[in-house]
Structure 1
Amino acid sequence: MPPILILLTFLLTLGAGGEEIIGGHEVKPHSRPYMTFIRYVDANGTRKRCGGFLVKDNFVLTAAHCLGSSMKVTLGAHNIKAKEDTQQIIPVAKAIPHPDYNPVDWSNDIMLLKLEMRAKRTNAVRPLRLPKANAQLKPGYVCRLPGWGRKSLHAPKGTDLLQEAELSVQDDQKCKHLFRHYIKTKQICADDPKEKQAAFKGDSGGPLVCDNRAYGVLAYGKTKSIAPGIFTKVVSFLPWIRSSMKSF
């Protein structure tokens, strides 16, 4: 039997480092070529990490609470601790958090990172498509959440290898009941209905991938309990994403 992928969620504060995948199944190396590993330094001088995903050769999409200094992205990685030939490490030239991001209620938790140079497209590095305008997900739709994270609750650090969970989109009313700040027009919540999968502190900014498109950006969840993860709804921010990439 394949290992069960467990994710837990913590409420996040600005720069907390995000959600992190706990346990679970390893994906085929470089089968998620859009995945991006982000390193940065927060306001307290602490080294942090987030997930993200390539949306254009020189732009990465992630969560706004992952903003920091000395930002670098690693593309084409499967093992983030190894010096793989497929990896491209590129500094961030400019971070573009959404201007209405609110760290108190996590609304508009989305950010673009413009890279200092364009990524070279390879079998291991390739952008993820964004959803079509007005695209919606119905409750019960199964999506994927890839990321680098702990393999057990007691592990001292995240796994070196890319993992993935399968999450089911939840009804907006359920999410509003669990999360008083939940905004259905701007957010999606998804979890495992069997409550074996959710999200945990560590790799925010990773994509909720449905039909090979990025429908969400992992933002936050509930304190120390198995509960849905909350994703910023990408389709609601398409005009901002496109205008920002054009402007910068």
Structure 2
Amino acid sequence: PNYCSECLRHYIIILVALRCVIRHGGKIINGEKAPENSMKYMASVQNKKGRHVCGGFLITEDYVVTAAHCNEAIPTHVVLGNHNLKKGNHEKIDIEKKIKHESYRDVEHGNDIMLLKLSTKAQLGSNIQIIQLPHADMNLEENEVCQVAGWGSTGNLISPDELRVVDVSVINPQSCKEQWSPWLHLPDNAICAGGYGTKKGFCQGDSGGPLVCKGIAVGIVSFNKNFKCKYPDVPNVYMDISKYREWIDKILRTARHFN
């Protein structure tokens, strides 16, 4: 019994240490204001107080993709159609249903993806558009330049009202695993981009937003290490959407069948 108790105590200490190392992703570091009339697929995922809690992106008229861990913030609605959350016209739509990946446990174990079924269809037009998802056999090239955007803090703990974007480069998967290996085994179906060796990437505040390469949403902002935003020593981690195409398509097919 004493041996088992001691094992459990050490296991709990390790779990707590890991949770201190890993932080949900998000704020855009060394980025700039997103150009007007760009990224029309971006969604601000908000709680009942109207506070922005996560990013997301529109993939059909009534489905938004975000990170599974964003459910911890109890989101109630999304805002579409405007880069500035405080000004201009935008469309607010309630979340009818939240569909987390059935294998999701926590960010360090991967499967950090969630679909938000909207209560009504978004009005696609000049300000709101959907974004294409990758094929299941997608292969990203090392050093390919992509973009990540969001309304998360810019480094001074103050969240901007205007959407910001930054270029990040895709990092070799094996190199990423090696950089993370002292702290955790990188989850399956992960993409690494930005962070390590650069001053560009995401940090806390805009989890769930897309990593966009050549106009396609290839990844979902998941986590980074500690709060090292300006000078991270490991890569930023995203979920690889191509590995979840079958899961996403099945949900969308089922929804169409019942409509």
Shorter-chain TM-score tier:
0.7 to 0.9
Structure number with greater Rg is 2
Q: How far does the alpha carbon of each residue in 1:122-144 deviate from its partner, in whole angstroms, 9 at most, with x for none? A: 11100000012201102111110
Q: Which residue of 1 aligns with 2:91?
A: 88
Counterpart secondary structure, 2:47: strand
For these two proteins, the number of residue pairs brought into alignment is 227
Which deviates the most, 205-214 or 25-34?
25-34
Q: Which residue of 2 aligns with 1:78?
A: 83
- Give the C-alpha shift of residue 241 in structure 1: 0.4
Matched, 1:29 2:36: yes
CA distance in 1 between partners of 2:107 and 2:162 (Å): 32
Kept in 1: contact 2:131–2:215 (CA 8 A): yes
Q: How far does the alpha carbon of each residue in 1:64-116 deviate from its partner, in whole angstroms, 9 at most, with x for none? A: 0001435110001211122x22x110000000010001216241000000000
Kept in 1: contact 2:31–2:200 (CA 8 A): no
Unaligned runs of 5+ in 2: 1-20
Aligned 1:1-248 pairs, distance under 5 A: 11-12=22-23, 18-40=25-47, 49-67=53-71, 68-82=73-87, 84-85=88-89, 87-103=90-106, 105-151=108-154, 153=155, 155-179=156-180, 180-183=184-187, 185-191=188-194, 195-225=198-228, 226=232, 227-248=234-255
Counterpart secondary structure, 1:138: coil
Identity of aligned residues (%): 34
* CA root-mean-square deviation: 2.1
Which deviates the most, 56-65 or 96-105?
96-105
CA distance in 2 between partners of 1:75 and 1:106 (Å): 30
Unaligned runs of 5+ in 1: 1-9
Counterpart secondary structure, 1:200: coil
Higher normalized helix content (fraction of residues): 2
* TM-score calculated relative to the size of structure 2: 0.82
Higher normalized strand content (fraction of residues): 1
Cα distance change on mapping 1:158 and 1:106 into 2, 3 Å: farther
* TM-score calculated relative to the size of structure 1: 0.85
Cα distance change on mapping 1:106 and 1:49 into 2, 3 Å: farther
- Give the C-alpha shift of residue 178 in structure 1: 2.3
